[in-house]
């Protein structure tokens, strides 16, 4: 390989200045599906994989992934957020690309293995960082005809991360590019396929060259309804104080969004899941992107070809309450009343 990424000693990491990037750690964990069953998972020290040039993940897009985080909490223990929901979502993707399901027990076992083996890479409590966990399911069988692979690898890598967008909870501006769609109307937008993210790379680059760190996509059929941001779900706080988030066939089911809805209900904030027409942007008091990587990123402005919608230059009060409660649960500063956290043992 022309590029080598050195493994940093955890003692040399400046935890407070971590960005959202990849650095090699001690190991990743891997299992292979062949002859109708998954192999025993093993920890692998090298941060590389070897596969056939004709692997179906490379040619026909048989690749799905997940994202979740492990946190060093106030009591010193390490816990990760809602991995059971991630395995459900990954198995939805597996079913859609005709790959074998990952048993929940195996999935949790592998998370325990890889986080425990890289425990020193979990950022200290109070730094705002986390250990990002990336499960990946890929077709690795060799074939040149368009058909499902006969062999699959499921692996989980981990890497320490900080904030996805610099400035943390500071608002960012979003751009709508009507010439691009993230997913087809009856395509794969509702599952976490790697190809969905490839489709967002060019519009994201165009937006960034114009000074917008995030893109918002409207529905791919009519471009009349809000779908989601390029990297995360959309939700808003209406002027009546309701939590409003879109329903669409082409939106990824966000575990963070689902968790925030539960927190909103805990706070007696009404929750609305429904189609949202783009004209309703004028009726929202606060708007945000939400997801594993960003948690909540407030949106100060959304620019379309016809309108500019503004939502304030600082984080709104309801977004702040939701963010504070969510991060407090993640870091052990607030009781885990929903039993979301898995302790790493």
Domain boundaries, the chain: 10-161, 172-330
Q: Distance between CA 182 and CA 188 in Å, rounded?
A: 10
Instruction: Scan for tokens 């009519």, then name that residue.
Output: 222
Q: Single out the catalytic residue among 192, 221, 305, 345.
A: 192
330 CB contacts (<8 Å, ≥6 apart)?
69, 71, 81, 130, 341
Instruction: State percent of the chain over pLDDT 70.
Output: 98
Angle 56-59-65 from CA coordinates, rounded to 5°? 65
Strands (E), 230-329: 233-238, 243-245, 271-273, 284-291, 295-303, 308-310
Characterise 22 by phi-psi region: left (phi > 0), alpha (psi -120 to 50), beta (else): beta
Quote the CATH superfamily of domain 172-330: D-amino Acid Aminotransferase, subunit A, domain 2 (3.20.10.10)
Is residue 276 within 8 Å of 226, Cβ to Cβ?
Answer: yes
Question: Can you give the pTM of this predicted structure?
Answer: 0.95
Q: Determine whether 192 is an active site residue.
A: yes
- What is the b/e burial string over 203-230, where b = at least 16 CB atoms within 10 angstroms of the residue's CB? bbeebeeeebbbbbbbbbeeeebbbbbb
Find the length of the chain.
345
Mean pLDDT over all residues of the chain?
95
> What's the rounded Cα separation, in Å, for the pair 47 and 157?
9
φ/ψ (deg, to 5) at 343: -80, 135
Class of domain 10-161: alpha beta
Examine domains 10-161 and 172-330 and report if their fold is the same.
Answer: no
Question: pLDDT tens string for the chain (345 positions)?
Answer: 456 788 889 999 999 889 899 999 999 999 999 999 999 999 999 999 999 999 999 999 999 999 999 999 999 999 999 999 999 999 999 999 999 999 999 999 999 999 999 999 999 999 989 999 999 999 999 999 999 999 999 999 999 998 776 666 889 999 999 999 989 999 999 999 999 999 899 999 999 999 999 999 999 999 999 999 998 999 999 999 999 999 999 999 999 999 999 999 999 999 999 999 999 999 999 999 999 988 999 999 999 999 999 999 999 999 999 999 999 999 999 999 999 999 999
């Amino acid at each position: 390989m022309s590029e080598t990424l050195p493994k940093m000693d955890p003692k040399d990491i400046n935890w407070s200045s971590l960005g959202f990037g990849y650095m090699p750690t001690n190991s990743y964990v891997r299992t292979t599906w062949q002859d109708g069953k998954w192999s025993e998972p093993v920890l692998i020290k090298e941060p590389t994989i070897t596969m056939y040039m004709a692997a179906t993940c490379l040619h026909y897009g048989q690749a799905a992934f997940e994202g979740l985080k492990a946190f060093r909490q106030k009591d010193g223990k390490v816990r990760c957020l809602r991995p059971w929901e991630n395995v459900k979502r990954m198995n939805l993707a597996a079913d859609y690309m005709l790959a074998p399901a990952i048993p929940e027990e195996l999935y949790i076992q592998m998370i325990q293995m890889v986080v425990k083996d890289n425990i020193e890479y979990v950022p200290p409590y109070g730094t705002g960082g986390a250990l990002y966990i990336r499960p990946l399911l890929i077709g690795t069988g060799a074939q040149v005809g368009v058909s499902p692979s006969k062999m699959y690898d499921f692996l989980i890598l981990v890497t320490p991360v900080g904030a996805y967008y610099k400035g943390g909870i500071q608002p960012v501006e979003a751009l709508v590019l009507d010439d691009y769609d993230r997913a087809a109307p009856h395509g794969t937008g509702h599952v976490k396929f790697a190809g969905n993210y490839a489709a967002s790379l060019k519009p994201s680059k165009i937006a960034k060259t114009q000074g917008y760190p995030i893109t918002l996509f409207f529905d791919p059929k009519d471009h009349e309804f809000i779908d989601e941001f390029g990297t995360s779900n959309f939700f808003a706080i209406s002027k009546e104080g309701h939590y409003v988030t879109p329903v669409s066939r082409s939106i990824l089911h966000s575990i963070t969004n689902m968790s925030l809805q539960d927190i909103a209900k805990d706070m007696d904030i009404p929750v609305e899941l429904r189609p949202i027409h783009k004209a309703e942007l004028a009726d929202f008091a606060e708007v945000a992107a939400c997801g594993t990587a960003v948690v909540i990123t407030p949106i100060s402005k959304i620019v379309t070809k016809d309108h500019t919608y503004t939502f304030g230059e600082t984080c709104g009060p309801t977004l702040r309450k939701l963010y504070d409660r969510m991060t407090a649960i993640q870091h052990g500063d607030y009781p885990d009343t929903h039993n979301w956290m898995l302790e790493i043992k």
